[in-house]
Amino acid sequence: MSSCCSTDLDANAQPCAQCGTTGPVVGHEIVQPHRSDVDGGNWQHCSTLGCPVVYYLDTDVVTADHVRTQVGHKALDKPTPVCFCFSHTRDDLATDLAASAGVSSIKLAIKAAVADGFCACEHLNPTKKCCLADVHRTLKSIAAT
Ligand SMILES: [Zn+2]
């Protein structure tokens, strides 16, 4: 689990077209929950406060209006996800837990994604921490109710 959250600035990183700040490369897996037509590319996350761009790839952008859940400190009127990287909410986890007899497939999917390096919690999660601990805690609290 120590390999989690090691996304670094990439040599191919481009500045955000809106604010000009170069954000971390997060890949397309993280963008897919928000935009189903995204199927590849070195997407980047813009973490500039006040910039509407959440993810961008060249001139293609996903803004705070388009994301499903709150991402970092953007789109504050959206539901707060438990996992910021893959936009899973508490409701998603509850549904998943009920549908899979107590073994969360979302947690397994997050673990696999983290192992593959598709995790950018330190950029997307406002607490800058890996979300697996929060996912685990939320699953426990859902199971207890
Ligand atoms: Zn920006």
Range of the domain at 130: 70-143
| Contact (Cβ atoms closer than 8 angstroms) between residue 33 and residue 62 | no
130-141 pLDDT tens trace: 888 899 999 999
Spacing, Cα 145 to ligand 1 middle (Å): 40
* Residue 31 counted as domain residue: no
Residue 122 in any domain: the answer is: yes
User: For the chain, what is the domain count?
Assistant: 1
> How far is C-alpha 78 from the geometric centre of its chain's CA atoms?
14
Using the mean position of ligand 1's atoms as its centre, give its distance from the Cα of residue 46 in Å.
Answer: 5
User: Residue 42's CB: how many other CB atoms inside 10 A?
Assistant: 14
**44 in a structural domain:** no
Question: What is the Cα–Cα distance from 31 to 42, expressed in whole angstroms?
Answer: 10
Strand order in the sheet with 44-45: 44-45, 53-57, 60-63
Instruction: Report the separation in Å between the CA atom of 110 and the middle of ligand 1, taken as the mean of its atom positions.
Output: 26
CATH of the domain at 80: 1.10.10
**pLDDT tens digits, 5-57:** 544 556 678 999 999 999 999 999 999 999 999 989 999 999 898 899 999 99
